A and B are shown apart, each in its own frame.
Chain A
Amino acid sequence: MPSSRLRFTLSLLLLGLLAAAPAGAHHSFAPYETTLQIKLEGTITEYRWANPHVYFEVDAPDAASGQTKHWLIECASTSILNRAGWKFNLLKPGDKVTLIVSPLRNGEPAALLKQITLADGRKLSNGAAAGRATLE
């Protein structure tokens, strides 16, 4: 599968976990389909380092249509990410990243981050509450 194309891998996890893990101080992660993980390869368009959650946006090609799809990606709080090795200026528009995420159940273009791989190969998690990546 060419790396320039969208790599959209679905993985139905047989974990038997129908309910999402608690999100910590703020809200439940249950609106995300946490039994489903997909991989996105795309380009950062915005990085918003704030509480109660850090968000970034990414453009990634859609496997089915070939069109660029714009995603909102939810991360943990700034303190959890700091402890997981992130930094307030870790990302910037134009950065190429590979993501493992769980999309929203309602079909809107947003997802909960499980793992991010930076252009230099570093892999960072989104803290325990978001759950671990189960894709390679």
Chain B
Amino acid sequence: MKRTALFVLVATALAAVVPLLAQSRTAKPSITGSWEIFPLRGEGFGSGIQPKTPVTAPKPIPAPPLRQPYLDQWKALQAENQERTRKGLPPPSTGMACMPDGIPGMMQATFPMEILETAGQVTVIEEAFNQVRRIYLNEALPALDDAEPRFNGHSVGKWEGNTLVVTTIGVKEMARFRNVPHSAKMRVTERWRLVTDEMLENQVTVEDSEFLTAPWTWSWMYHRWPGYKIEEYVCEDNRYFDDPAQNYQRLRVK
């Protein structure tokens, strides 16, 4: 009788503990939910709620280490755009045409974004322009020749401990983050890691031997926004156009 009771006790304990052990071996930090860039760009771009634990904001994104003559061309373009903007004649942009940011630009999270983890996939839904990005887990990237150019390219991801390493190729050459040109060989590697339960760091590395002399790297930080429901953003009433005479972002008034 005593042996039976002991057996039942041990079996019950094992039944309770074994699943927990198995879970602890495979448990990854959950990143599912809504996030906003940190620090916020300003009122209205997010919740405005400060993180519970003080966090150092990422450093500003450095200038791209472009090869010559691309570096001089890029600097001249930036200076010209700044001057035209100062005069009230900002040059047309892909954003004005309601084009998506592409990768890596989409991950700057101008507006809040939602991350969804499902079996074999992580999905990012960005409020601005309803952009959707799919990251396939534990899959191989397609060969460059098979990677049809897309705004968001082709992304695969793999958990390395508590870090999700996301690699992207096949980004359309017209999708230029900060006006920086890139080739079809561009490779973007992101390392997503929860630095606290509410702060997600994204270390970005852009490599492109055709245009860059060295990897271009920076970090973004996202603040968890529990309960926020991403809003719809369809560009249904775009009143901006490329003025044919002066080539600037012009509002159609009538």
The answer to the question of A93 belonging to the interface, with a C-beta cut-off of 8 Å to chain B, is no
Contact assessment for A128 and B233 in the assembled complex, using a CB-CB cutoff below 8 Å: no
Contact assessment for A27 and B93 in the assembled complex, using a CB-CB cutoff below 8 Å: yes
A105–B239 alpha-carbon span in the complex (Å): 17
The answer to the question of A94 belonging to the interface, with a C-beta cut-off of 8 Å to chain B, is no
The answer to the question of A20 belonging to the interface, with a C-beta cut-off of 8 Å to chain B, is yes
A33–B41 alpha-carbon span in the complex (Å): 22
The answer to the question of B168 belonging to the interface, with a C-beta cut-off of 8 Å to chain A, is no
Contact assessment for A18 and B86 in the assembled complex, using a CB-CB cutoff below 8 Å: yes
Which of A32, A33, A84, A108 is packed against the most chain B CB atoms within 10 Å?
A108
Contacts of A105 in B (CB 8 A): 88
Contact assessment for B45 and A53 in the assembled complex, using a CB-CB cutoff below 8 Å: no
Question: How many cross-chain pairs have Cβ atoms below 8 Å apart between A and B?
Answer: 117
A71–B235 alpha-carbon span in the complex (Å): 22
Task: Give chain B nearest CB distance to A34 CB in angstroms.
Answer: 9
Cβ-defined partner of B42 (8 Å) among A26, A33, A106, A127 = A127
Q: Indicate the size class of the contact surface on chain B.
A: 35 or more
Across the interface, name the chain B residue whose C-beta is closest to A26.
Answer: B95
Contact assessment for B233 and A129 in the assembled complex, using a CB-CB cutoff below 8 Å: no
Chain A, 75-91, CB within 8 A of any chain B CB: 76-84
A32–B110 alpha-carbon span in the complex (Å): 22
Q: Indicate the size class of the contact surface on chain A.
A: 35 or more
Comparing A1-9, A44-52, A59-67, the segment that makes contact with chain B is A44-52
Contact assessment for B233 and A31 in the assembled complex, using a CB-CB cutoff below 8 Å: no
Contact assessment for A77 and B86 in the assembled complex, using a CB-CB cutoff below 8 Å: no
Across the interface, name the chain B residue whose C-beta is closest to A21.
Answer: B42
Cβ-defined partner of A110 (8 Å) among B41, B127, B128, B253 = B253
Contact status of A31 and B249, CB under 8 A, knowing A25-B129, A55-B239 = yes
Contact status of A27 and B240, CB under 8 A, knowing A78-B233, A84-B44, A127-B42 = yes
Contact assessment for A129 and B239 in the assembled complex, using a CB-CB cutoff below 8 Å: no
Cβ-defined partner of B85 (8 Å) among A20, A24, A33, A48 = A20
Contact assessment for A27 and B95 in the assembled complex, using a CB-CB cutoff below 8 Å: yes
The answer to the question of B20 belonging to the interface, with a C-beta cut-off of 8 Å to chain A, is no
The answer to the question of A37 belonging to the interface, with a C-beta cut-off of 8 Å to chain B, is no
Contact status of A25 and B239, CB under 8 A, knowing A78-B233, A83-B44, A84-B43 = no
Contacts of B128 in A (CB 8 A): 24-25
Contact status of A80 and B233, CB under 8 A, knowing A19-B86, A27-B240, A30-B85 = no
A25–B100 alpha-carbon span in the complex (Å): 9
A28–B251 alpha-carbon span in the complex (Å): 11
A106–B231 alpha-carbon span in the complex (Å): 33
A110–B250 alpha-carbon span in the complex (Å): 11
The answer to the question of B33 belonging to the interface, with a C-beta cut-off of 8 Å to chain A, is no
Cβ-defined partner of A30 (8 Å) among B41, B88, B233 = B88
Which of A27, A31, A48 is packed against the most chain B CB atoms within 10 Å?
A27
Task: Give chain A nearest CB distance to B222 CB in angstroms.
Answer: 17
Given contacts A27-B249, A28-B85, 17 further A-B contacts (CB under 8 A): A25-B128, A25-B233, A26-B95, A26-B235, A26-B240, A30-B249, A31-B248, A31-B249, A51-B235, A53-B237, A74-B251, A83-B44, A105-B88, A127-B42, A128-B41, A128-B44, A128-B45
Residue numbers of A with Cβ under 8 A of B are: 18-20, 24-28, 30-33, 48, 50-53, 55, 72, 74, 76-84, 104-106, 108-110, 125, 127-129
Top 3 nearest A-B pairs (CB, nearest first) are A128-B42, A127-B44, A28-B90
